[in-house]
Amino acid sequence: MIRATRDLGPSARFLGGGDEPGEFQAVVVLLGIVAAAPSLATAVLSAPELDATTPGGLLARRPDDTWSDFAADLRPSDGRSRIAGPVDDAGARRWAALHDGLRPATERVDLPDLRPFHTWAPRILRFSYLSDPNR
C-alpha cells in the first residue's frame, strides 16, 4: 500500500539492484519506528530544529546526512535528546530503548544519505495513527 503511493518508475529504485541500495530500507526502518515507539515517532520524524545542540527530527536534517549519524542522535545524553530537547528519566529510557532497538537495522542500512528517508517519512506518517504537526 505504501509503495503504491509513489510513481516508482523503474521499481529497481525501491527494491534496489546492482550496486544501488533499495529505498525499501528506509520504509522498513520508518515503519519499525512507528510500530515500536509510537509515542516518539512523530518527534523522530518531524521535530523542528531547536538550536545547534538539538538539530531536530529526520525531516529537519540535511538530505546528505547519513542514517547512522541520525540514528546515533536517538540516544539521549545528560537529560537531552538531540531530536526533541530536554527529556525526563522515563523519556530518556524510551529514547535509549528506541536507539538500542534500531541498532541491528541501522547496521544493515546501506543507503548513502537521508534522501530516501525524507521521501518516505511523510507517507509513513500518513499510514500511521500518529499526528503530523506539518499536516
How does pLDDT run across 90-114, given as a tens digit for each residue?
999 999 999 999 999 999 999 999 9
pTM of the model as a whole: 0.84
120 has pLDDT over 70: yes
10 has pLDDT over 80: no
User: Buried b / exposed e across 43-58, counting CB within 10 Å, b at 16+?
Assistant: bbbbbeeeeeebbbbb
What's the grid cell of residue 38?
A: 509510537
